[in-house]
Structure 1
Amino acid sequence: MKRVFVFEYLTGGGEVGSDAERDELMPMGRLMRDALVADLLTVPGVQVSAALCRHAPEVPAGARGVAARTGEATLDFMARESAAHDLACVVAPETGGLLLKYSRCVSPARWVGCSPQAIALASSKQATLRQLDAAGVCTPLAITEARRWVVKPDDGAGAIDTRVHHRHEAALQDLQARTRRGEPATLEPWVEGDALSLSLLCRGAGEAEVLSVNSQQVAVDAQGAVRFLGVQVNALPAAQALTQVAEAVARALPGLKGFVGIDLVWHAQHGPVVIEVNPRITCAYAGLSAALERPLAAELLALFEREPAHA
């Protein structure tokens, strides 16, 4: 029997900057955790444990809920439970290097996901765009006719602290203010077009399969604040251009393995423009196995198939 531990940062007790941020992000965290747990429970010969906390005190039926000990740091809790299982599936934001820290605290023999090197690169939006641009992938760096500009955390999650400006000068002032506050941020052209995401199954060595093309609902209010409203999974067929982009990203970012998300915008002139890469499970995972009629969790585990870590 293979024992798999699922740790999602927020539902596992991870801290965020404010209660408002927690309220905004917690539903997405719970959605990802519960979808992955439910899929894993259908895999023969697998026992599933899932992290919980007082903000998310229940796990899907059939899984064993585990929580941090009193006074135990979330990172220590994750590392301890990972060591007690054969495999660890960790979903955490790139913000503040969190996902990278978690990847380095789990034995490579147990880690189900991208390599620490790939996570480190994808954790910086600026570094990711530079790497992709150098590899010939179209990114916002190629947009020279922008009418609006966006300032956002360089390692942010979701649309938190993301703002669109109509004047480049205003965007630059926003960036400078964040820099003075010690907040790593990036200024990019705002890419006009249809917001999409790709869900990939990366098999390593630059090999990537497009599982689904998803439509993202993104809103910008009168003050320029950006909000992520949700995603319609498997909304569009995988056009050849999108498949080519996925394969190019996988080649440009060595170490991508497992479930990976790409956020992009379909621009009228430039076609698919890659905005960022998420080296982990995303919200688009929820319901995808049913939509595709494929056992994605079983396929995911098969990529990391090893002998059990315990007798």
Structure 2
Amino acid sequence: MTKRVFVYEYLSGGGWSDYGDDAAADELLPLGLSMRDAMVADLVRAADCSVSAASCETGNTLPRGAAAVRPLANESAFDFVARQSALHDLVWLVAPETDGLLARFQRTVGNARWMGCSAEAIELTAGKKATLAHLAAHGVQTPLAFAGDASIARWVVKPDDGAGGVATHVHGRHADALDDAARRTEAGASLALEPWIEGEALSLSLLCTAQNAEMLSINRQRISIDPHGRLSFDGVSVDAVGPDDPRRAPLASLARQVARAIPGLRGFAGIDLVWHARRGPVVIEVNPRVTCAYVGLSAALGRNLAAELLADRLHGRVVPDRELARAVA
């Protein structure tokens, strides 16, 4: 039986005007469009699946085979998603965790139609400080383990529930980081101040089921810091660490450890980390949703990840290879 799936990416789906931070929206919108189109392209190749997607651009720029849907005049993002949810069997949604957006969308859609992590997992991982404390309590190495480490030369101040590198500043003196955090807190921001971990910036892409957390890929993050300390996220090299890299086994173990610590992770999720030269992987944050690393990942792996996510969501199982071959044909 054909399943109707609605794909919604917050900024490209109409949330751009409601985001409240034009500069952040401008920075995040191209990333959102690329994620949406990758999700849609995989879904339209999956068996027994019809796809609708929110598209507020001029004209229909969606991959061929998907129907574009748009909010009504003056319809809020949440009312739009609720209306489309009632017309579809499943909803696959991407939104920032900022201000509780992603968790609110999850509760708007409800568990029966939601493709993704639980509301509890989303709410926990939305807060960077809470996530690190939770993971540290479960034996995962985080920047908290570097508090008081004499080797720390820089500190980072960032929104506690931010997305990407928006409003993230790296400071060469702890006193400057404290001053930055104090100024922004006084202005009403909720911030995280952490030791800056030196090393290679990586991310893990995970496919989480009730039985397992499979590490799909190790990705290399491209991050730059300007002379004023402003951090920028410049993209990701997907599946950039080869099969013979000795870090693969410990990182796969780390992925399972994080998933055990946050059992509500389901579907596609990401872990941002830094590989420290002496101490190995240090988890920076967990993303309970599709990330930029989804773009191009199905092609890189020779798998249709959307078909696998659908199969797990509908049947609670991973697609066997022979069925997967039919699903991606």
How far apart are 1:237 and its partner, in Å? Answer: 3.2
d(CA) in 1 for partners of 2:279 and 2:315?
A: 43
d(CA) in 1 for partners of 2:262 and 2:293?
A: 21
How far apart are 1:79 and its partner, in Å? Answer: 1.3
Structure 2 letter corresponding to 1:302: A
Find out whether 1:227 has 2:236 as its counterpart.
no
Question: What are the Cα deviations for residues 88-111 of structure 1, in whole angstroms up to 9, with x where unaligned?
Answer: 001001011100000000121100
Question: What are the Cα deviations for residues 211-252 of structure 1, in whole angstroms up to 9, with x where unaligned?
Answer: 000000000010000000010000003611101110110011
Aligned to 1:164: 170
- State the Cα RMSD in Å: 1.4
Q: 1:76-87 residue pairs with structure 2 within 5 A?
A: 76-87=79-90
Aligned to 1:69: 72
TM-score of the superposed pair, with normalisation by structure 2: 0.90
* Range with greater deviation from structure 2 (233-242 or 40-49): 233-242
Secondary structure, aligned partner of 1:224: coil
User: Are the counterparts in 2 of residues 128 and 277 from structure 1 also a CA contact under 8 Å?
Assistant: yes
Question: What are the Cα deviations for residues 131-159 of structure 1, in whole angstroms up to 9, with x where unaligned?
Answer: 00011101000112311000000000000
Aligned to 2:132: 129
User: Are the counterparts in 2 of residues 52 and 59 from structure 1 also a CA contact under 8 Å?
Assistant: yes
How far apart are 1:58 and its partner, in Å? Answer: 2.6
Structure 1 residues 175 and 68: CA distance shift in structure 2, 3 A: same
Aligned to 1:6: 7
Structure 2 letter corresponding to 1:25: L
Q: 1:196-215 residue pairs with structure 2 within 5 A?
A: 196-204=202-210, 207-215=212-220
Find out whether 1:111 has 2:121 as its counterpart.
no
Gaps of 5+ in 1: none
Structure 1 letter corresponding to 2:9: E
Count of paired positions: 306
How far apart are 1:195 and its partner, in Å? Answer: 0.4
Question: What are the Cα deviations for residues 59-84 of structure 1, in whole angstroms up to 9, with x where unaligned?
Answer: 22110000000010011101110111
Aligned to 1:91: 94
Aligned to 2:263: 254
**Comparing both structures, which one devotes a greater share of its residues to helix?**
2
Aligned to 1:240: 249
d(CA) in 2 for partners of 1:255 and 1:146?
A: 33
Structure 2 letter corresponding to 1:168: H
Secondary structure, aligned partner of 1:69: coil
Structure 1 residues 55 and 92: CA distance shift in structure 2, 3 A: farther
TM-score of the superposed pair, with normalisation by structure 1: 0.96
How far apart are 1:56 and its partner, in Å? Answer: 8.1
Secondary structure, aligned partner of 1:204: coil
